[in-house]
Structure 1
Amino acid sequence: MSLFNRLFRAEEPTRLSEVSQKVQKMLANDRREFDLAMSALLGDAAWEDVWGELRSLDREVNRLEREIRRHLLVHASVYGAIETPAVLVYMSIVKDIERVGDYAKNLLDLARDGASFQGLPSEELWREFWWEGVSTFIGDAAEAFRAWDGETARRLLSQGDEFLSHADKRVSTIVRGDDQWEQQVARALALRYLKRVVAHIMNLLTALVMP
């Protein structure tokens, strides 16, 4: 039995479904926020044109997080210390999900400040590896979480490690001065933000492989 089902085993199935749907909605919003931010950073959209939607999505994520955390606190108060570890894990999970949206806003802030990776020699890498790759990573993680699929989670955790390693190498190249292309500061910051997005999703996936 999954941790999620153990946590809510004493409650009606409708309650379990409601919480699960809220988690999925948060993740869907996160992915959309990320896509909006990257579209601005890569010159496909003006940051002003996506800012409103991104902020609206992020506010909904924050609201859903509060609702889930409130439910978890009530659950812990009713069922006592035996459920506390599972409650703490889930509080951590929803916080990780919420933080993805924060880093999407950070990425959009780079575009607002004038950063654009359009036309760079590495534009294709930014589009395919970072934008499409991380967006798909978020979506795949959401599906693995919905199905509580530990095998898929392990595969995605390995993929996440590849993202983190690649980001570290690129940042080190910039810091050493071996990268002479434009937008060095913006690219280094974007890579740091992307690392945090991936790391927070990996924290979510880790819950699926916990004993």
Structure 2
Amino acid sequence: MDAAPPILENETPLGYNERAVSLGGYETMLKELLDMLRAKSPLRDMLNEFTQMIEKTEWMFDASIKVLLHSRPTQEVEKEIYSKDKEVNEHQRSIRRKIIRHLTFQPRADVPACLVLMSVVKDAERVGDYCKNLFELATMFDIPLDRGRYKTPLKDLAEQVENLFSKTRKAFQWSDEEMAHSIIAKSEAINDQCDMLIRQLITDNLPTKKAVAYTLLARYIKRVASHLNNIATSVVTSVDNLDFSDESKDPHEQE
């Protein structure tokens, strides 16, 4: 896993547009807001903490998939899975506390940037929850997910999602719109593949236990991809459209 580059003190905004990020600036793009995050010390600290959330959930996802595929023993990662999940939750609470404290002293100037952070940290926390669900799936079902005809498509989907983590972190941290669009396209393709696989499982003549385990696995992989999609989408959308990126895709998947 790539280490996140630190946000340096001497980094400056790429082009902060004060009018665009005012309280009335509903067409604000995240690129300008992230320039603010990188430039201002309190916001920069929050951004660094958010990148830690992505790094930790990436580890959780990788470890959980390896346990599911029987390439890593459960007891080797169980303690750290739950430890990192708690750390991710604490990061979310910490960022929220810092936002409230920051806005107490800066009641107007940084509201849009703080709204963006509030939104994406929620997505990162949900990614952690689903990674924990993936691990618990391995402990709940004594199903050999390391073999059978569904091994290859499920493993391929997991690998595709794992490749999105570092890209999502970098796209958000450096407001890389081209990379964000690439992540969005890839995550939507993953979601379509998950839906297709679930439809196949519904019509397949599998034992109930296997069908449930495989369906949950596909569902959790899809939700991880969707939340990474939300984070990437925030790079290329306006503040008022945050959290709505996948509503039109699947209204039954909203949380």
Match among 105, 122, 136 for residue 150 of structure 2: 122
Structure 2 contact 67–74 (Cα < 8 Å) conserved:
yes
- Deviation readout 1:142-173 (Å, 9 max, x if unpaired): 11112110111011100010011011111112
1:91 corresponds to 2:121: no
Partner of 2:247: none
Structure 2 contact 53–88 (Cα < 8 Å) conserved:
yes
Quick one: which amino acid aligns to residue 148 of structure 2? L
Range with greater deviation from structure 2 (179-188 or 52-61): 179-188
Partner of 1:31: 58
Match among 149, 173, 176 for residue 176 of structure 2: 149
TM-score (normalizing by structure 1): 0.89
Q: Which has the higher helix share?
A: 1
Partner of 2:34: 4
* Inter-partner Cα distance in structure 2 for 1:193 and 1:123: 15
- Deviation readout 1:9-40 (Å, 9 max, x if unpaired): 6x43xx34322221111101000000111011
Partner of 2:197: 170
Structure 1 contact 173–179 (Cα < 8 Å) conserved:
no
Partner of 1:58: 85
- 1:106 is displaced (CA, Å) by 0.7
**Structure 2: runs of 5 or more not aligned:** 1-15, 17-31, 239-255
* Mapping of residues 9-28 of structure 1, within 5 Å: 11-12=40-41, 15-28=42-55
Identity over the aligned pairs, expressed in percent?
30
Quick one: which amino acid aligns to residue 197 of structure 1? V
Structure 1 contact 7–83 (Cα < 8 Å) conserved:
no
Quick one: which amino acid aligns to residue 69 of structure 2? L
- Deviation readout 1:83-139 (Å, 9 max, x if unpaired): 434322211110100111110111111110123311112323322x22221111112
SS at match of 1:45: coil
**Cα RMSD after superposing both structures:** 2.0
* Inter-partner Cα distance in structure 1 for 2:46 and 2:53: 11
Match among 140, 144, 150 for residue 167 of structure 2: 140
**Structure 1: runs of 5 or more not aligned:** none
1:151/1:205 Cα in 2 relative to 1: closer, same or farther (>3 Å)? same
* Inter-partner Cα distance in structure 2 for 1:160 and 1:112: 27
Structure 2 contact 33–112 (Cα < 8 Å) conserved:
no
* Inter-partner Cα distance in structure 2 for 1:21 and 1:85: 18
* Inter-partner Cα distance in structure 2 for 1:29 and 1:82: 31
SS at match of 2:234: helix
* Inter-partner Cα distance in structure 2 for 1:6 and 1:179: 55
Quick one: which amino acid aligns to residue 122 of structure 1? Y
- 1:7 is displaced (CA, Å) by 5.6
Quick one: which amino acid aligns to residue 233 of structure 2? T
Quick one: which amino acid aligns to residue 123 of structure 2? D
The number of equivalent residue pairs is 206
- Deviation readout 1:39-69 (Å, 9 max, x if unpaired): 1111112223211111111111112111111
Quick one: which amino acid aligns to residue 3 of structure 1? L
Structure 1's consecutive aligned runs of 4 or more residues displaced over 4 angstroms after TM superposition are: none
* Inter-partner Cα distance in structure 2 for 1:82 and 1:143: 25
SS at match of 2:123: helix
